[in-house]
Amino acid sequence: MKKICTGHVMFFNRKNERSGVLFQGRFKSVHIDSNDLLLYISAYVNCNNQIHAMGDFAKYPWCSFSEYMGDSSIGCQKDVIVNQFKNVEEYKTFCLEKVVGMKERKEMEKYGIED
């Protein structure tokens, strides 16, 4: 994999008359080791476009939120998440509450403030 990536970077740099790396920093991953973190990540993934002001997450075609709400079926295994709530509306409320906190955190990071 490293050989392929190195070759791609060299090709891209030659083609675009530039130098340096294409991908900044190492890939960041987090081990999901608790149920609370799983629910938080689920809300983040399903509402990410709203956090970054890319439109209504319920109508965004590149996330699974509409499937969680029952509007479409794309094959997600959503029961792991949804079964932890009384109904999908409770999950939607949970997500909306998390979005508010995520937006505030993003705004603070813009000014170099970390929590």
Domain boundaries, the chain: 28-110
Inform me whether the pLDDT recorded for 89 exceeds 70.
yes
Percentage of the chain modeled with pLDDT above 90 = 20
Q: pLDDT (tens digit, 9 = 90+) per residue, 25-56? A: 666 788 999 999 999 999 988 888 777 666 66
Inter-residue contact 40 to 95 (CB < 8 Å): no
The pLDDT value recorded for residue 30 is 84
The span from the CA of 102 to the CA of 83, in Å, is 23
Model confidence at 87, pLDDT cuts 50, 70, 90, reads very high
Q: Is the pLDDT of residue 93 over 90?
A: yes
In this prediction the pTM is 0.64
Given CA atoms 5, 9, 10, 14 in this order, what sign does their dihedral have?
positive
